[in-house]
Structure 1
């Protein structure tokens, strides 16, 4: 009888509920003999406990050890990433309006001050006056037909740059903010993996 082989591709990150029993199907995609896969999908891997707090990192070697103990006649091949981050979903309270509103006002004031300080540093009124003089040959203190379109274009340019109007996006291209958030999440995930692995080493160290 030929030895069965199951291919495993671990998910990079999953979100599960507190105290949930983690099964193989929660952590990975499986391919191979369908009758065997049905058994493996329901195989329990880890029980989330209160001490796990917000994250659990399941290592590929830990999975292989449990699977080979339970299914000794099956060969398992792990493809891709070798660790899964399990984020434990904790119910969060909705932010209160009296907390969000002052923060929103402070952000708006801060953004406005940053824009005004930039225009002051580069002496934008003088730039507009010079542009008006170049185009018309006349001297004016307030070239409104340049300043008004410029102000409208400044706001429209920011909307196009961030690719958002409230929850609506103009296209599927990610905005700079989304890219920064993605990079931040990548760094956070790497930190979680490193931190959890360090804790695991300490727990397994006989000297500790």
Structure 2
């Protein structure tokens, strides 16, 4: 019976500094005629301080390693041709004062943005005219419209971002999450092209 190995690379994994990456860490492996656990524990790459935060492992490198292990193996690959390895260092702990300062800046910035937008579109005059059309009375502060509008603005932001603090309202991703996903995809593609030495070859390379 022919010995076969089916390899499907993961798109991205996270590792700790100085960690030894094994085949089972970056890929789903199915074997035929060979011990699967033994192959999954095969060392692939040793993370060092020179790697900084991103390492790209190409499928060609994996095939070479597997062939060195057993030249008679037939290898079939699926999925992405590279795996992005993100080296996660210990995060610095920030003080409560720093958190409060950042929260305050974001709150004031968002409030000023909303107020400037309403000033640009003359929202107060719009409410005054609507109140005049509905009630026939002219007032400077039509609270009957402004209060429900303010509450609806907050509820609309919650529905738009699909989160109440860390709790998700439903399974549908918010527009912000979709944009962050697209940004991460573009960033990963950039990393693959620039960090993978095999993806580009210059004229002076031999």
TM-score (norm 1): 0.91
Residue ranges of structure 1 left out of the alignment (5+ in a row): none
**What does the per-residue CA deviation read over 1:111-163, in whole Å, with 9 as the maximum and x for residues that have no partner?**
11111111111111111111112212222222111111111111111111111
Match of 1:73 in 2: 72
Q: Give the deviation of 1:33 after TM superposition.
A: 2.1
Helix, strand or coil at the partner of 1:30 = strand
In 1, are the aligned partners of 2:54 and 2:86 still within 8 Å (CA)?
yes
Match of 1:155 in 2: 154
Match of 1:58 in 2: 57
> What is the alpha-carbon distance in structure 2 between the residues aligned to residue 152 and residue 57 of structure 1?
48
> What is the alpha-carbon distance in structure 2 between the residues aligned to residue 112 and residue 62 of structure 1?
52
> What is the alpha-carbon distance in structure 1 between the residues aligned to residue 121 and residue 87 of structure 2?
49
Match of 2:122 in 1: 123
2:12 aligned with 1:13 = yes
Helix, strand or coil at the partner of 1:32 = strand
In 1, are the aligned partners of 2:3 and 2:33 still within 8 Å (CA)?
no
> What is the alpha-carbon distance in structure 1 between the residues aligned to residue 171 and residue 4 of structure 2?
39
What is the number of residues matched between the two proteins? 205
Q: What is the 5 A alignment of 1:86-101?
A: 86-101=85-100
TM-score (norm 2): 0.91
CA RMSD of aligned residues (A): 2.0
More helix by share: 1
> What is the alpha-carbon distance in structure 2 between the residues aligned to residue 50 and residue 33 of structure 1?
37
Match of 2:23 in 1: 24
